[in-house]
Structure 1
Amino acid sequence: MRIRSAKTALAVVDMQNGFCDEAGSVTAIGLPASRLRPAIAGCVSLVSAARAAKVPIIYTRYVYRPDYLDGGLMAHELLPDLRDGKTLIAGTWDSDLLPEMAPASQDFIIDKNRPSAFFGTNLDATLKNLDIENLVVCGVTTNCCVETTVRDASQRDYRTFIVRDAVAEYEDDRHEVALKSMDMLFGHVVALDDILAGWKSEPSAA
């Protein structure tokens, strides 16, 4: 399947130091960045191709207030190590995008404090203002922020494409189950090469 660049945006989910650098705070609480780093090369390729094809690029960052009053159940009950380990605090190195993901002036950055990039953000309004119908998604983690964002995109009737070679998860079984679930009901799981070829050749339809 090849996806045209027209009416398409690229969402790069949470490719930030806290998750994807070995010195990040999430590795320090026992969730190793080494499991997520395989997504970096694919994300870099997608960003480069999107820029060349003039596809809007939207980066998301998972960030919290220093007091974690915005942390909700995730940070206070389900995974309190996020709070206790002082992870992902807004305005710190931890919250910064990886150097490989350095945004350009025309790119968009969406800060969020929940797995979905749509929850409590202006992502939907941004996509509508850009006249977007197709959303290509890459980043981390497959079964949490990627899948939750994809599900929410689907509920808003965006045609969503998850790039298998550019997402990663801490455990292989969760990764594969998430891909299967998304591909069945919420979007299309596609190969990186299909996206790159489609944006380069500009087919008339997805």
Structure 2
Amino acid sequence: MRGDLSVPTDQAALLCIDLQEEHRLDKRYLVAGFDQIIGNVRQLQQVARFSGVTVLHAAYIVESGSGASGGAKMRRFHPVMPDGSSAFSDSRNPLSAICKEVAPVGEELVFVKSEASALRKGRLADDLKRRDIDWLFICGVWTEACIDATVKDAVDLGFHVVLIKDACGSGNETMHQTGILNLANRLYGGAVTTTAGACRMMAGEKVDSWMVEGSVPIRYTYETAASIYDAL
């Protein structure tokens, strides 16, 4: 269903997930429309900082060799290169860096992870609770992977999630759209909106937003997914 939603900005945070250079420069991990996503996230960060909304960052970083630093140890079954380094997000690879346009400013925190969810290990969740954060604006990549896992963990932990659909992305539009629709079906206590809508919410406005009602209300096919996604 759709309805007006307002968010208490003093209890809100903007969580930017895995906006790393590899997603626009490594041909194996390119995200469709990544530059547009970066532009939208930059706009969200600017409004959040102006409005007093906490801005937080998560980055997927893997430590895969002796002498590497800055990441978590590689998990079992993790894909590797012939030299034993991580196939993606290796701590020694400059493409693992957060894109400069949306990089942390000042004392904004970066939470390093080596799995899909930014909330699985508890450190970020504990930090959010210390800050009395109840609402999470979530953006980043990939929609059906790290965004999906983080959103589901956030809901399980009792956070309200505002999922910003055009500030997320994946390997192609179909993967992204179906990822958003699957999350929308189970986004209990939260909402789906656009960058423009999220900016207005962070500025203190009420915004017409899509909110889940009942259990799994969205039923889509390949043919209807795009139009249902557009209507969210």
When normalised by structure 2's length, the TM-score is: 0.75
TM-superposed deviation, 1:31 = 2.7
Give unpaired runs (5+ residues) of structure 1: none
Corresponding residue for residue 228 of structure 2: none
Tell me the SS of whatever aligns to 2:203. Answer: helix
* 1:71 positional shift: 2.7
Aligned to 2:225: none
- State the 1:110 CA deviation: 0.2
Q: How many residue pairs end up in the alignment? A: 195
CA contact (8 A) 2:12 2:53 kept: yes
* Amino acid in the other structure paired with 2:196: D
| Matches of 2:77 and 2:162, distance apart in 1 | 26
* C-alpha RMSD of the superposition: 2.4
CA displacement at 1:197 relative to structure 2: 1.3
1:181–1:73 CA distance, 2 compared to 1 (3 A): farther
Secondary structure of residue in 2 paired with 1:127:
helix
Which structure: larger Rg?
2
- Whole-Å separation in 1 of the counterparts to 2:177 and 2:155: 19
Q: Please say if 1:62 is aligned against 2:60.
A: yes
Give, in angstroms, the shift of residue 119 of structure 1.
2.1
Superposition deviation, residue 140 in structure 1 = 0.5
Higher helix share: 1
Tell me the residue number matched to 1:49.
47
1:39-63 CA distance string (max 9 Å, x none): 1111111110110011111100000
What runs of 5+ residues in structure 2 fail to find an aligned partner? 66-70, 210-232
The answer for the alignment partner of 2:215 in structure 1 is none
1:17-74: CA deviations, max 9, x gaps?
Answer: 122x32x4xx2xx232454333111111111011001111110000000339833256
Higher RCO, Cα 8 Å, sep 6+: 1
Alpha-carbon distance change, 147 to 119 in structure 1, aligned in 2, over 3 angstroms? same
Give 1:199 shift: 2.0
Pair 1:178-2:182 in alignment: no
Percentage identity across paired residues of the two chains: 19
Q: 1:145 aligns to what?
A: 146
After TM superposition, the score normalised by the length of structure 1 is 0.84
Structure 1 residue corresponding to 2:20, chosen from 16, 20, 25:
16
